[in-house]
Structures are given as C-alpha cells and as structure tokens.
Amino acid sequence: MYSYFDNAATTKISEKALNTYIDTANRFFANPSSIHKAGREAKEELERRREECASLLNVNANQIFFTSGATDSISVFFSSLLWHDPGEILISRIEHEAVSSWLKILLHYGWKVTYLKAKKGFVSAEEVKQKLSEETKVVAVMAVNNAIGTIQPIKQISKAIREFEKERRRKILFFSDSVQALGKTELDLNAFDVDGASFSAHKINGPRGIGMLYLKNPSSIRSIAPAGGQERGIRGGTENLAAIASMTEAMRQWHEKKDESIDRIKKYNREIRDALTNLGIKILSPEENTSSYILSVRSTLPSEVFTRMLFDRGICVSSGSACSNNAKGKAEAQLEAMGISHDDASKAIRISFSMDTREEDVDFLIKSFEEIVKNK
C-alpha cells in the first residue's frame, strides 16, 4: 500500500463514485439518443445529472456540456476559434499543456499570441488590462496552477476584460482551465464571469475519461466536430452516462466535505512546510493565495533521484506534471516561467493532496524526507 501524494495528477475513485458508475451502467445502459423507452430513460437520467452538476457549480444546466475530460473540453473550446477570423490571444506562460499546445495551431492559422508574465506564479490583472488591444479576441488564464498551486485573480482579470469590452463595444472570450480549482477552492463561475471553463472528474475522486465544459453563452462557440449532434452539437459522440453519474457523485462528495477537507489539508500542508523548512528544504509554493492541495518544494537532489528514493519507501509524489510525455522537462519550463531558477526547477517535487489524505501519511512523508536528507 502506498502513501499517495500525487493527487494533482489523478485521484483514487471513491467507493460511492465507483458504485454509482456500476449501478448506472446496469440500469441505464441504453443510448440516450435512442427514441425507445430505454433510450428515453437514459436521456432523462443524463439530463438529471446535468442539472445536478450545474446546481453544484451554481450555473444553469444549459451551460454544462459533458466531454471525455478537461483536455477534451479545452480542445472543443480552442478548436472552435478556427471558425473565427484570426486575432490576438492573451495567454499566461504557466498554462497546462492541454491549453498551450493549441498555440502552435492558432499561430499556423494566423493568430497572434501575446504572453502574460507570471511572476512567482501569479498573473497580474493590471498586466492583462495593459495588454488588451484592438486585436484581442481571447484571454486564457488558468484558475489554479497545477505545478505550485497559485490561485489566479480570475475575478479581477475578468473585470478588466469586461471594462475593456464595454469601452470598445466588442466581445472578448475569457477561458479558464479550472481543473485544480474544483472542490478545492471557492469556485463561483458566476462571480468569475468567464466565458468558458474546463473540469475533470479524476482530479476529485471520480472516474477517468469524463469531464465538463462550461460555456456562459453556448452560442459563442461553434464546434468543428459536431458528429451526431450530441451535447447540442458542441461535443459529438454518445454520452458516457455511467461516468457522468459517477462524476456527479464525486462532485457531491467534494461539495459536502469541502470546508472540512480544506481545513484539514491546510493543516497537513502547514505541517509539511514547517518540517521540510527545518530540514533546509526550500518551499517553492507561495504562502498566500495558493491552494493547500498543491505543495511544490526544492529537494536536495535531482528530482528524479529524490522521487525514486521516496517511492522505494512507498511514497508517491511527482517531479512534474504527469499528464504528458517528458513531464519533468515541461514542468521545469513551467516553473522557470515563474522566475524559479533552473537549479530549483530541476530539483522540484510536487506533493499534492486529496480528501483521502490521512495524518499518518503526512507523518510518514515527513519521516521519509528526514531520513533521505540526513543520510544522503
């Protein structure tokens, strides 16, 4: 059995979410697009789950679209830009690769890319305000950074965009990858006033292969692959109803336990920060305006060596984002974009928590760090 601290990469599906998946797969196995009774029942369950997800996010059901995950949600949104005449996209330098990988495609089709700095992991709303121009059509800033957990000032950025829109009388789309925010921060999409946001179930103890795309105004985008017209033509393909139901259950669990979990994880984060600081280990995640669920530290050895030594003791952490090939190199580039030195970035380890994290796991992690540092 492992002490698992790589929850920003994926979490273990909860028992309730797993049982919901199995039950739904057995009861509602028909295609929701079929017109017979079994199909209609599946469709009713699909829409009931959509209503529940929307309620948990405090938005309308017609603003929620089910996808195969956050990467899919991001692709649906950004691929729709290919229908538009090229313009400028303002984007932070610390976006997840699921977002930043679209830049090469947009550049190919004539778009202009302007980067936003992220000093110490934070994007400045003032810089966004300064860089908005007559060419700007899209702004993309993640809600919570996946490498060090910094919480971005989404409300302030949105305010700057909306004021610019009002002055110039034209629309700018604001997209926020919100994967690491769901269930772990005060997430209010209405207050955020974003035009699009992406979510993934497997980051909150739900199943893999399912996620959501939030669209404030669904008519603002046009899918390049509507296929069979499912999800009102935004994302084609037969809906994975069992996974949708399971995700809804996972969201409900996180919603019900959010306050208790946040307080408990803050305590664990603090304990690890203090213990590792006493060992001479540098903390890379800022103290303020940072999700307690992600803690990035500079180890005393190259990160791949230190993570292997921890794994030999039964502890799972990450030396980079686990969502891509060459994860370590890409994570280092992301950290360096924040102003973190190459040496610190090459030794960075990400410790990430979930509502399953236990006190005994924290104690074991601290003890293991102590043994490695003192015996290296």
Look up the pTM and report it: 0.94
Q: What angle do CA 64, 84, 193 make, to 5 degrees?
A: 40
For the chain, give the percent of residues with pLDDT over 70.
97
Question: Where residue 328 falls among pLDDT bands split at 50, 70, 90?
Answer: low
Q: What angle do CA 175, 176, 182 make, to 5 degrees?
A: 145
Domain boundaries, the chain: 3-11+258-375, 15-251
Return d(Cα 10, Cα 67) in angstroms, integer.
Answer: 17
Beta strands in 142-182 (DSSP E): 173-177
Q: Is the pLDDT of residue 105 over 60?
A: yes
- Quickly tell me which residue has 């269930």 as its tokens: 183
- What separation in angstroms does the CA of 332 have from each of 104, 190, 277, 335, 341? 20, 34, 21, 5, 9
* CATH number for domain 15-251, candidates 3.30.300.30, 3.40.640.10, 3.30.2130.30, 3.40.50.150: 3.40.640.10
Q: Is the pLDDT of residue 224 over 90?
A: no
CATH topology of domain 3-11+258-375: Aspartate Aminotransferase, domain 1 (3.90.1150)
Return d(Cα 185, Cα 193) in angstroms, integer.
Answer: 16
Question: Pairing state of beta strands 211-215 and 282-283?
Answer: unpaired
Question: Where residue 330 falls among pLDDT bands split at 50, 70, 90?
Answer: low
Between 108-122, 213-227, 284-298, 323-337, the lowest mean confidence (pLDDT) is in 323-337
Beta-bridge mates of residue 144: 151
323, 338, 362, 365: the active-site residue: 323
- Residue 250 is predicted with a pLDDT of 97
Q: Is the pLDDT of residue 325 over 60?
A: no
How many CB atoms lie under 10 A from the CB of residue 171?
A: 12
Q: Is 53 a catalytic residue?
A: no
